[in-house]
Amino acid sequence: MKERVKEALDKVRPSLQADGGDVELVEVTEDGIVRVRLQGRCAGCPMSMMTLKNGIERFLKEEIPEVKAVEQA
């Protein structure tokens, strides 16, 4: 599943990079929790949790139904 998550994050990455940010995959647990680290402008942005939950998490759940949640590492 980790490879599928990496591929899905590569689809999200361009929109984050357009705003000066990025996302790094830290781990994928056996129970479907994806841990990521927001980087660049995203790391200190007050909207980062919204980006994480409404953007990245929603997209990953659509692409990979086994994903249960996305958390910041």
CA distance 70 to 60: 8
Domain coordinates in residue numbering, the chain: 2-72
Predicted pLDDT of residue 64: 97
| Mean pLDDT, residues 44-60 taken together | 90
Of the candidate ranges 18-22, 30-34, 45-49, 56-60, the one whose mean pLDDT is the lowest: 45-49
| Mean pLDDT, residues 25-41 taken together | 95
CA dihedral 18, 70, 49, 38 (to 10 degrees): -50
pTM for this model (two decimals) = 0.90
- Nearest residue to 21 via CA among 40, 1, 4: 40
Residue 44 has pLDDT above 90, yes or no: no
> Which fold would CATH assign to domain 2-72?
GMP Synthetase; Chain A, domain 3 (3.30.300)
